[in-house]
A and B are shown apart, each in its own frame.
Chain A
Amino acid sequence: MNLFDPSSDRGNASKRVETNVKQDAYHDEDYDLVRRIAGGDRAAMRDLFTRHHGRVFRFIARQAGSQTLADDVANEVFIEVWRAASSFEGRSKVTTWLFSIARFKTLSALRKRTTETLDDGASERIEDDADTPEVSAQKTSKANALRTAVNSLQEEHRTVIDLIYYHEKPVREVAQILAIPEATVKTRMFYARRKIGEFLNDAGIDRGWP
């Protein structure tokens, strides 16, 4: 799944440089697509959608706990790109721009939504939340307990974890997407991991430090 970093050896400096070059090329293609979209090129819009819809959709779905809502909001995000492409100045990566639009559209949609029925994914997550750590430990393996711990995080913590672990965004970009200071990104990650550790400890699972 790792789109930008084909190397699994994170300590290898040369591979990291090579990866950065590939990332730069990928982002250059994104910039070119947005430039073409600004000129009304529908094929470029289709290409950008195909490249990024999956990640945008998941980002929204994880925040909202609803794939139904994610479907609508993701569409709105790309419509917004179509409208605003000519104003994109390229000061950030296109993906960071996309995610920041998605973030605010998701928050807006969540506030407007009052009675929407939760879909299966959200219901499943709430069930997980309802389990005590002891019960979870009895019925799940360590891996499942970790999954439950991650899914039971508060939204703001889960979103930071997703952006860093799954979307592989550096601190600076996470700060831009969420419109929060970089220091807050780090502290949210810190407390998110503390919560995971506490959950596992309560479930009788020792993963060592921290």
Chain B
Amino acid sequence: MSDNGMSRRDEVEMLLPFYESGDLDGEELAIVEEWLADNPEGQAALEAIQAERATVEAANDNIVPPVDALKRFEQALDQEIAAPQMAVKASVSTSGNWLERLLPAWLIPAPATAMALSALLVAALVGQTVYYSNGTGGIELAGEQGAAPEGTRLIIVFKPDAAMGAISAALKQADAIIVSGPKAAGLYEVVVRDREAETLQSRIDALTKDASVQLVQPMKQGEAQ
């Protein structure tokens, strides 16, 4: 068994598609190469992956974009350029993050749909910021190096109007990290690290009361994915 509870065979099975696509290096590459050298069925497994790839390629290639797509896009772009008030709203920003700049425009369809839609928008916002701000003071995303950290798992919904900086600060203050999401209704799974156990509960309480947070729900044992 490996660290993640998988048998070596499962681990190889998981890595094979990435071996086939040339996306492995280091220890993972060595694991697969060693296994292939010892197991003659490996070639058949690679052929199965190539058959899957060919099937997926054919399924995608069968989808043909409309021939007038560019023409219609240019019409849409004309309208976009002709609507300066929209551009002004989209450029309102408190930082350099591109999605933050889009937030006011995205939140325009306000009252009736706001609650349902805004949760998703915040979800999109957070996801993008994870992507663009990693390592520069933005929100931290678990798993880039493998397994999620140890700690108390929570489900969190951020407020629709929460600023990116506020969400980032709240998570940092709580020593928390997003491990998955967004899920349905903009739910995020967050781990509050327990490396300072004596402050754990106070950090969770502070996160719960933070102005950027709409809902915090502890996860039950075995609920995590």
A residues sitting closer than 8 Å to B (CB atoms) are 1, 10, 16, 42, 45-46, 49-50, 53-54, 57-58, 61-62, 67, 70-71, 74-75, 78-80, 82-84, 87-89, 91-92, 100-101, 104, 107-108, 111-112, 121, 143, 146-147, 150-151, 161-162, 164-166, 168, 170-172, 175-176, 179-184, 186-187, 189-190, 193, 196, 207-210
Partner of A62 from B63, B126, B147 at Cβ < 8 Å: B63
Scoring B residues 117 to 134 as 1 if CB is less than 8 Å from chain A, else 0, what string do you get?
100110110111011100
Task: Check if B206 is an interface residue, CB within 8 A of chain A.
Answer: no
**Contact at B80–A79, with CB atoms within 8 Å?**
yes
* Min CB–CB distance A182 → chain B (angstroms): 6
Question: In whole angstroms, what is the CA distance A58 to B57 when docked?
Answer: 11
Given A50-B70, A57-B69, A87-B96: A209 and B45 interface contact (C-beta under 8 Å): yes
In the complex, the answer to whether A189 meets B17 with C-beta atoms within 8 Å is yes
A193 and B13 within 8 A (CB): yes
Residues of B within 8 A of A180 (CB): 143, 180
Q: Which residues of A contact B70 (CB under 8 A)?
A: 46, 49-50, 53
A sample of 16 cross-chain residue pairs with beta-carbon separation below 8 angstroms, ordered by A number, consists of A53-B69, A58-B60, A74-B65, A78-B73, A78-B77, A83-B87, A88-B98, A89-B132, A104-B127, A150-B59, A162-B60, A164-B21, A179-B182, A182-B143, A183-B143, A208-B41
Q: How many Å lie between the Cα of A151 and that of B97 in the bound state?
A: 36
B77 touches A208 (CB 8 A): no
A175 smallest CB distance to B (angstroms): 7
Closest to B185 in A: A111
Question: Would you call A10 and B21 a contact (CB within 8 A)?
Answer: yes
User: Roughly how many angstroms separate A183 CA and B145 CA in the complex, as a whole number?
Assistant: 8
One of B46-54, B166-174, B207-215 at the interface: B46-54
User: CA separation between A168 and B22, bound complex, in Å?
Assistant: 10
- Are B98 and A84 in contact (CB-based, < 8 A)? yes
B interface, over-half SS: helix
**A175 surroundings in chain B (CB, below 8 A):** 143-144
Task: Give the A-binding residues of B (Cβ under 8 A).
Answer: 4, 10, 13-18, 20-23, 41, 44-45, 48-49, 51-53, 55-61, 63, 65-66, 69-70, 72-74, 76-77, 80, 87, 90, 96-99, 101-102, 105, 113, 116-117, 120-121, 123-124, 126-128, 130-132, 141-148, 179-182, 225
Structural contact, A84 and B147, CB atoms closer than 8 A: no
Say yes or no: B59 contacts A83, CB within 8 Å: no
Docked pose: A98 CA to B97 CA in angstroms: 15
Docked CA distance A144–B9 (Å): 28
Interface pair B131/A100, CB less than 8 Å apart: yes
Contact of A150 among B16, B52, B80 (CB under 8 A): B52
Chain A residue contacts of B4, Cβ below 8 A: 183
